[in-house]
Amino acid sequence: MRTTRRLLVTLATSALLTGALVSGAQATPPDNYVPANASRLSDVEPRDNPACPANAFCLFEDDDFGGGIAIFYDDDRDLRNRNWEGTNRPVHNGASSMINNTGRYVTLQSNAQSCDGDRYTARPESEDRDLTDNEFDNEASCVQIN
């Protein structure tokens, strides 16, 4: 009987130790893993669209990120004073697509300086290949990175 009890104690101890070792093992998380304690998008590695620099907001002159590009890292309340990169063509009322590679919301408004009027809001880490789908094609006059 003593031998049986010792055997059971040995087996139970062995099982407990094996369980502790297995539960302490760490697996590699999948690529799309989001930590349960992530409270902001900035806690998660962004998946930037390469057509726009990291941590930037970009407007494009044409659909599908074509034509001229305007890159924003801060607010620009008057797009009448800004041209598409490397051109003399104004960005004002000329954007047809956008990429938001920031972890913040970006608001586009149809009225320069006052930044009011019709509004379009881009979610963090988002893109829109055709602003026509959201009735904001060629309307952006003000960019606010919130």
Residue 24 domain flag? no
Task: Please report, for residues 14, 16, 18, 20, the alpha-carbon distance to residue 25 in angstroms, rounded to integers and kept in the order given.
Answer: 17, 15, 11, 9
Residue 131 domain flag? yes
| pLDDT attached to residue 87 | 96
Structure-token pair, residue 145: 């990175």
| pLDDT attached to residue 80 | 96
Q: What residue type is assigned to position 124 of the chain?
A: P
| pLDDT attached to residue 4 | 47
Residue 135 domain flag? yes
* CB contact set of 138 (below 8 Å; sequence gap of 6+): 93, 94, 95, 96, 131
pTM of the model: 0.68
Q: What residue has token string 């890292």?
A: 73
Residue 20 domain flag? no
Strands across the sheet containing 106-109: 119-122, 106-109, 142-145
Give the CA radius of gyration of the chain: 27
Locate all alpha helices (DSSP H) within 26-85, ordered by sequence: none
| pLDDT attached to residue 135 | 94
| pLDDT attached to residue 48 | 74
| pLDDT attached to residue 47 | 61
Residue 45 domain flag? no
Q: What residue has token string 């659909």?
A: 63
Residue 140 domain flag? yes
Give me the domain span that covers residue 115: 53-145
CB 53 within 8 A of CB 134: no
Residue 134 domain flag? yes
Q: pLDDT tens track of the chain, all 146 residues? A: 545 445 444 444 444 444 444 444 444 444 433 334 333 333 334 467 889 999 999 999 999 999 999 999 999 999 999 999 999 999 999 999 999 999 999 999 999 999 999 999 999 999 999 999 999 999 999 999 99
CATH of residue 90's domain is 2.60.20.10
| pLDDT attached to residue 53 | 95
Residue 33 domain flag? no
| pLDDT attached to residue 49 | 85
Q: Tally the domains of the chain.
A: 1
